[in-house]
Structure 1
Amino acid sequence: MNYSLKKYIKIVCAISFALAISACSNTKFLEKGQFLYTGAKIEVKSDSLGKKEKGNLSDALTEQLRPKPNSSFLGLRPRLYIYNIAKEPTKDKGFKYWLKYKIGEKPVLLSSVDQEFNKKIIVNFSENKGYFNAQASSDTISKNKKAKVIYTLKPGSRYVINKVTFPADSSLVNKEIQKTKSESFLKVGNPFDLDVIKAERVRIDNNLKEKGFYYFSPDAIIVQADSTVTNKQKVELFVKLKSTTPKLAKEQFTIDKTIVFPDYNLQDVKKGKYGVPMLTDSIELYKDLYIVDPEKKFKPRVFDRALYFNKGDLYNRTDHNLSLNRLISLGVFKFVKNEFVISDSLNHKFDAYYLLTPNKFQSLRLETLGKTNSANYTGAELNLNYTHHNFLRGAEQFKGSVFGGFDVQFGGPKDANNIIRLGTKAELSIPRIVAPFTFNTSGAYVPRTNFSLAYEFLNRTQLYTLNNFTATAGYLWKENERKEHELNVVNITYVSPQNVTDKYQQQIDGYFDPVTKQNIPANPSLQRVIDKQLIFGPTYSYTFTNTMLQKKNTVYFKGSADLAGNVTGLLSGADAKAGNRKIIGGIPFSQYVKVEGDFRDYFKINTKTTIASRLIVGLGLPYGNSVQMPYSKQFFVGGSNSIRAFRARTLGPGSYDPRSQPASFFFDESGDIKLEFNTEYRANIYKFLNVAAFVDAGNVWLLNKDSTKPGGQFTKDFLSEVAVGAGLGLRLDFNILVLRLDLATPLRIPYYEKGDRWTFDKMDFGDKQYRKDNLILNIAIGYPF
């Protein structure tokens, strides 16, 4: 073991010892007779329960107990220690107050634990889960000014359901309940569980809401339990309608009129008897819809497409929610409100009112951005964005933007040339499918047809200029809140180079360096950056996510496919490898298949800690009219959202050593195959303050051998060429903005000699030059994934 490694082991041990001492010292701040409450343990004593059932019951009960002990991290209580050592502030604001009462945490004492109250919670919870006649006791164990409470539960055997009865009568509502009793959550043989009984009441209410019983509620259902039917811990359940249920809740309602106020304002519109606007002379009848839009701000067909209720329809909650969701997803209304007003009580009819408050149709936003990245570039960007949310009076959204920016590199191993970007973009999004074919849009989300045109001017000073034109036309639709599809039928990219300097050209062709008196070899890879490019073809992506759910484990997946020039290449018989390369307008078009998958997993250890992981796999396959993938469509790794221990786009392909480049500037390294894995341990320290420990691994490779990129081709030894980095991060999460700082260092460098690629034996954080070369600070907005 070398000296530097021993030194850092000693430092880590010293820090660990200091933290342990600080944790123990929390008790010295307690007054005489006070005990720090360290938590509770619940022991379940029963001969009839298995080990697993006891454990599940104990865990569930522990969550119910109050108060919770002071928060801890790896067995330590740093927030309590901060509270103890921070001086008492003289006023309820300022840094001292923030440190002591916001960052710090007041000690939870044993005296604040109401054991009698907790025992009642334990008994009530147990009985609600079917452990009738449960008994609970408690005891306190204290040592060194710390105390914990041991609760003992004697639950007895758990009662199970012996029989479920739905008493029948002649009422219409009861007949509907009888129709769905086979779908009941209450099953014979299952344990008695109050939460399941509550869910059963909600199930019945949901079914009745689909059958026109708008005014029904779960509270109208009572479930009576009889545990005297046998002496074998069994219970019989009776699911009945309460005798006090209002008459209105038992009636089925149908839709009479549907009235839309698309320019509703609570302050300006006169209210009717039932709290909705009264009808006015400006009403317009469109099919079955009554629309009050005196200024004609919207085309009536917008609402005909969004709303599901028709005159005479039986009310159902599905169409109710679908209509509201579609109105919201139009993106033009700030508030969407729906009310039902009885119009004919004798025939059980009501009118459906939709009260819609639109956003401001037009907005102009100026954005400025200062940025820095891991390649030592510092720059600024200016964006001017114009948006119209109702461009053609059909909730169409138009966006127009112009932007400009520059990046200047300071320092770094090699000098680099500055980057200037200018551009403009126009987008039109139509809230329907515009196509010659029929498309089913009966979902909660309005499908959209999107068109865009864009131009970007990019100048790398003293090197070259690129003019980039793009045009797209396609569709975006969601099956539900979890599944989304995007299909661009037209996706055209045209790249035209200009002003290629002699400095750049000689890097491509090779030259004689008069300073070193050496011949610098040619680097044909640089030619690909300034090649004219014509790329066209469809693209498709599918996204699945359930991260919006309150679950312990959630996932995200996005798969995409890019098919360029396939039909044209097939029809024209293009074969670039055989010298038969086809051109359009004097430019060879690209032909390839590119697929990429991005899978993410978020596992919540508890409410404050999460393990987040990501796996990206990508492949680009040129064929037909192309020998190589277009440079702009290849894969790149490194940087603040990728492998953070390596500067952006400087890693790969394979074991190729970028330090061997003869160019006087860094050339972005790219590949046809991408493999990347990231995992992070994320912990919340205080409200907006989060920390993370992460490991990143991956690389890119070329499909075909390239003599200018030795080691860049994908082979069976690709795993030995995977780069690995690790680091620590600090995240300031203000909900609307996340400022992220990640400090990373490489653990495995693929372009080192095989067998010597791990860097543990080379680490020397005490050396200034080592820190400069191997500690990479990434400053970014948002989480990396």
Structure 2
Amino acid sequence: MIKDRPRIRLYYISMLPLVLAFIFFSGCNVTKTVPENDALFTGYNVTVKGEKDSSNRSADLETELSATVRPEPNASILGWRPKLGIYNAFYTEKEKGIKHWIMTKLGEPPVLLSEVDTGSISTVMSNRLHNRGYFNNTVSSSATIEKKKATIDWTARVGEPYRLRNIKYTWHDSLQVQEAIEQVEPESLLQPGDPYDLSVMTQERIRIAGDLKNKGYYFFSPELLIYSVDTTVGNRQADVLLRIKRAAPARALKPYSLDDIYIFANYSMGDSLSVRDTIDYKGYHYIPNENYVRARHLLRNVFLEHDSLYTRQEHLLTVKRLNSLSAYKFVNIDYEVDTLNNNELDAFIYLTPALKKSLRAEVKMVTKSNGFAGPGLSVSFRNRNAFKGSELLIVEFTGSTESQIGGRGTGEAPEGVEDVDNTDLTSYELGVQTTLAIPRIVSPFNIRNLRTEFSPQTRIGLGFNFLSRAGFYQLNSYNASYAYNWRPKEELTFDVTPINLQFVRLASTTDAFEAVLEDAPFLRRSFENQFIIGSIYQATYSTQMHTDRTSLLFDRLTLDLSGNLVSGVQSLIGAESPTDDDPRTIIGQPYSQYVLLDNDFRYYLNIGEESQLVARLVTGIGYSYGNSSTLPYVKQFAVGGPNSLRAFRARSVGPGAYDADETAFSFFDQTGDIRLESNLEYRFPIFGFFKGAVFVDAGNVWMLRQEFNDKGEPARPGGVFDSSTFLRQLAVGTGFGLRIDIEFFVIRLDVGIPVRIPYLPRGERFVLGDFDGSFSGENGMVLNIAIGYPF
């Protein structure tokens, strides 16, 4: 029975197109469930006609008015309405059963013409136009019905909008707020000659209230400002008068300074607010004691000061900085008028601790497109307040195994290496990584506290990893790092690792692996025991947090340096110049010397509410010199895999036009000194949490210098970068994907189809014509299963 399971799976896979075809053709009759004497509402159009309108706002007005149409027609993709198609295909009058569940949960009933109240929508549109200065406007609609499908056309006719003539801010001289208002008036959003616009007038009220909030007016709000508009002055003009309501409370019209500031550093709901156990520290009342987070560490994130003027800006900065501390899960700040001085406020900062310690275990199954798979286990311990300064300590233990379960790698096993069967262990990996994240800059130099919304961070890392490849080698790697991270503003992040130490050591090798290294000097040098001693500098610019924008950007630039400082010191003390056979050493081991520059650029274009076009360009170059003739293996570039070229195995492409043949047998990947990779992906909704995508990927890696074997022959012919041929050596793939996006995580299935294979002879590299729809063979499809979006 076990041997028949693949046939069963293939049967269901082969039936899938038939099921999809059934849904598609059932959905072709979109009016199947539309009642008699009604029609399916399929679309609408809004046109604004204003021949005498000099404001040139027709396009913006049409977009604004279109947003008022309710309900929206059934969702469509290239004219096909998938959710309506499912509803029609599984339509049943029964109120239970699988068909009813599919119809109601995955499908969508037809949106009918009778559900569209054109009169009410026209009234809303007219009101919107009135708010934009078109006090005399008309809105009409007409419906077109053909074969039980209806479209509606709205036409709005407008003239020249009313424009602002005089703008006056009338205040009472006796009010203390007068001077503050006069200071912000020059930055007014209302200017003479501008079209009357209610939304701009509302924004002006918010702007003034916000400025006053930052001048101590804690109780002031936009609702205390009121407009008077006179449209009878003639010539389509309006005079605007802005004033404070006469009923405004007195406390809203005067500024406040801060008196006592109480910090409840270990607060929980229901706690008594007694201040008996109070520590006075630098003018703050710290309650109850320092048994949780020490005051000197906490106060670096508090920007409210005794005797200072209350400002909304300092309030928000304090809230955001305290929220970034791992020791706390809730932050709240309240203010009360001081009981002795009614011109001052007392501030109460309530900090609710997060769960201090936690243990997390994760079991995962790793499947690779080259036929290797195996289980993995990750166990992590977290302490969110390790040393009473909100330090986050993470200790993570990982382990995984990989066995060959679906054929073997792309090449034949090297001579002397026995083929492994499906039950033999191919490799296993064990590791431990400790990271301490400190929410402040820890430095031998005195650095002032950064006034940013995001708490600066110092990271200290220490780890060890052991990898055993059965039949080939065992590898030990050690790492230690000291890094800083800070965000001067929301879109920009700097990550500086001044100390980055790694040591890689081959613990043991087999004769077969030594034979391969003997024939490939470049690979031997990559695997030599060596230190990586250097620094990493990274800058990231991203606007992805602004989800309301049409286009979004992401760019990450990385500079990785190693060996320069050590080499400079050794040169100063008179060390001999290094050679390939006799490099300089530290503690008897050579060290790497290189410079590496990498850039990852992405552009996101939002099309509609859920569709998105994403373009990505990744470039990188690494150059070894001085004490190294090649980049360390762990620093070399590679392409291919679920987040790269999805039509090719992970790290299996290149360099250049080089054909790896038998050296691609499972234990090392194709790498290079230069990387060029580009991706274009269109993402669109299908229904519910099912999303779709189509994509095109292209890229390759190349060497900077030719490498030779012991016979003096090129070790990887066709792998050196050549500006005149590199475009012809790009690997190209296309494909489609299905994503299950349930907000907090995404399961992704991408099917990659090879289009161009660079290592084939010229004239034979385009292989799309040989595509047969199978997952087998050199030109077959590749299934990528991953978590999260590729970029």
C-alpha distance in structure 1 between counterparts of 2:501 and 2:776, whole Å: 47
Question: Residue in 2 aligned with 1:674?
Answer: 675
**Counterpart selection for 2:258 from 255, 260, 273:** 255
Alignment of 1:142-221 (within 5 A): 142-170=145-173, 171-221=175-225
Report 1:461-500 matches (<5 A): 461-500=470-509
Relative distance call for 1:677 and 1:302 in structure 2 (3 A) is: same
Letter paired with 1:743:
V
CA positional deviation for 1:39? 2.3
Kindly indicate whether the alpha-carbon contact (under 8 Å) linking 1:451 and 1:472 is maintained by their aligned counterparts in 2: yes
Task: After TM superposition, give the deviation of residue 67 of structure 1 in Å.
Answer: 1.4
1:149 deviates by 1.7
Indicate the residue corresponding to 2:280 in structure 1: 285
Structure 1 residues 165 and 373, CA gap change in structure 2 (3 angstroms): same
1:565 to 549, 563, 566: 563
Instruction: Say which SS state the counterpart of residue 365 (structure 1) adopts.
Output: strand
2:435 to 427, 430, 434: 427
The letter of the residue matching 2:558 is S
Mapping for residues 536-615 of structure 1, pairs under 5 Å: 536-549=533-546, 550-573=548-571, 576=578, 581-615=583-617
Whole-Å Cα distance in 1 between the matches of residues 49 and 303 of structure 2?
57
Q: Report the alpha carbon displacement of residue 17 of structure 1 after superposing the two structures with TM.
A: 11
**Alpha-carbon deviation of 1:570?**
3.0
Which residue in 1 is equivalent to 2:756? Answer: 748
Could you say if the C-alpha distance between residues 211 and 185 of structure 1 is closer, same or farther in structure 2, counting changes exceeding 3 Å?
same
- Residue 362 of structure 2 corresponds to 367
Residues 53 and 158 of structure 2 are in contact (CA less than 8 Å); yes or no, is this contact kept in structure 1? no
Give yes or no for contact 1:452–1:471 (8 Å, CA) kept in 2.
yes
In the superposition, relative to structure 1, how do residues 566 and 330 fare at CA in structure 2: closer, same or farther (>3 Å)?
same
The reply on whether 1:223 has 2:218 as its aligned counterpart is no
2:691 corresponds to 1:690: yes
Amino acid at match of 1:331: S
User: Distance between the aligned counterparts of 1:16 and 1:467, measured in 2?
Assistant: 50
User: 8 Å contact 1:466–1:530 — kept in the other structure?
Assistant: no
Residue 41 (structure 1) aligned to one of 45, 66, 70: 45
- State TM-score, norm by structure 1: 0.92
1:28 Cα deviation from its structure 2 partner: 3.4
1:304 is aligned to 2:305:
no
- Write out per-residue CA displacement over residues 59-97 of structure 1, whole angstroms, 9 at most, x where no aligned residue: 2211111111111110121211211221337456x6434
The structural deviation recorded for 1:480 is 2.1
Quote the residue 1:84 is aligned against: 88
**Paired letter, 2:743:** N
Distance in structure 1 (CA, Å) of the matches to 2:731 and 2:779: 16
Counterparts of 1:386-785 in structure 2 under 5 Å? 386-410=381-405, 411-412=407-408, 413-414=410-411, 418-440=426-448, 441-509=450-518, 522-549=519-546, 550-573=548-571, 576=578, 581-659=583-661, 661-662=662-663, 664-665=665-666, 667-706=668-707, 707-716=714-723, 717-765=725-773, 769-770=776-777, 773-785=779-791
Contact 1:37 1:147 in 2 (8 A): yes
Cα distance in 2, alignment partners of residues 498 and 426 from structure 1: 23
Tell me, in whole angstroms, the C-alpha distance in 2 between the residues paired with 1:469 and 1:667: 20
Amino acid at match of 2:245: K
**1:107-137 Cα deviation digits (max 9, x unpaired):** 1111111111011011001111111111112
* Contact 1:19/1:76, CA 8 A, preserved across alignment: no
- Residues 678 and 695 in structure 1, CA contact (< 8 A), matched pair in contact too: yes
SS, match of residue 627 in structure 1? coil
Q: 1:467 to 1:206 in 2, by over 3 A?
A: same
For 2:509, what is the secondary structure of its paired residue? coil
Q: 1:491-541: per-residue Cα shift (whole Å, max 9, x none)?
A: 0000111121112112233xxxxxxxxxxxx23343245310211111111
Q: Distance in 1 between matches of 2:753 and 2:86?
A: 30
Cα 1:96–1:291 shift into 2, 3 Å: farther
Q: Kindly state the Cα deviation for residue 439 of structure 1 after the two structures are TM-superposed.
A: 2.3
- 8 Å contact kept, 1:83–1:105: yes
* Residues in 2 aligned to 1:528 and 1:83: alpha-carbon distance in whole angstroms: 63
For residues 303-342 of structure 1, the aligned pairs below 5 Å read: 303-342=298-337
Show CA shifts across 1:328-368 (max 9, x none).
Answer: 11121011111001114754111110111101211111121
Task: Return 5+ residue gaps in structure 1 as ranges.
Answer: 1-13, 271-276, 510-521
Secondary structure of the structure 1 residue equivalent to 2:29:
helix
Secondary structure in 2 aligned to 1:189? coil
Query: C-alpha distance in 2, partners of 1:704/1:195?
Result: 62
Q: Which residue of 1 aligns with 2:113?
A: 110
Partner Cα distance (2:24, 2:327) in 1: 57
Give, in whole Å, the separation in 2 of the partners of 1:681 and 1:432. Answer: 41
For residues 209 and 683 of structure 2, what CA distance do their matches in structure 1 show?
40
SS class of match (2:31): helix
Q: Deviations over 1:280-322 (max 9, x none)?
A: 3211111111011247222111232111111111100111011
- Which stretch shows the higher mean deviation, 413-422 or 128-137? 413-422
TM-fit CA distance, 1:625: 1.1
Structure-2-length-normalised TM-score: 0.91
Partners of 1:22 and 1:89 in 2: CA distance: 17
The Cα shift of 1:578 comes to: 8.0
Partner residue in 2 for 1:512: none
- Tell me the CA shift for residue 54 of structure 1: 2.6
Q: What SS class does the counterpart of residue 752 from structure 1 fall into?
A: coil
CA shift in 2, pair 1:662/1:581, >3 Å: closer
SS in 1 for 2:658: coil
**Residue identity matched to 1:474:** A
- Give the 3 Å change call, closer, same or farther, for CA 86–777 of structure 1 in structure 2: same
- Structure 2 vs 1, CA of residues 287 and 669 (structure 1 numbering), >3 Å: closer, same or farther? same
Distance 1:554 1:535 in 2: 36
Q: 1 CA distance for matches of 2:652 and 2:632?
A: 18
Report the 3-state secondary structure (helix = DSSP H, G, I; strand = E; otherwise coil) of the residue aligned with 2:517: helix
- Which of 334, 345, 354 is matched with 1:350 structurally? 345
User: 1:633-657: CA deviations, max 9, x gaps?
Assistant: 0111101111000001111100101
Question: What residue number does 1:5 align with?
Answer: none
Counterpart of 2:694 in structure 1: which amino acid? A
Change (3 A) 1:578 1:292: closer
Cα distance per residue 1:429-469 (max 9 Å; x no partner): 22211112232412122111111110101111111111100
Larger deviation, residues 18-27 vs 672-681:
18-27
Asked if the contact 2:526–2:630 (Cα under 8 Å) also holds between the matched residues in 1, the reply is no
- Equivalent of 2:371 in 366, 376, 380: 376
SS of 1:625 mapped into structure 2? coil
Partner of 1:6: none
Equivalent in the alignment of 1:140:
143
Q: Secondary structure at the match of 2:489?
A: coil
Is the Cα–Cα contact under 8 Å of residues 28 and 85 in structure 2 kept in the other structure? Answer: no
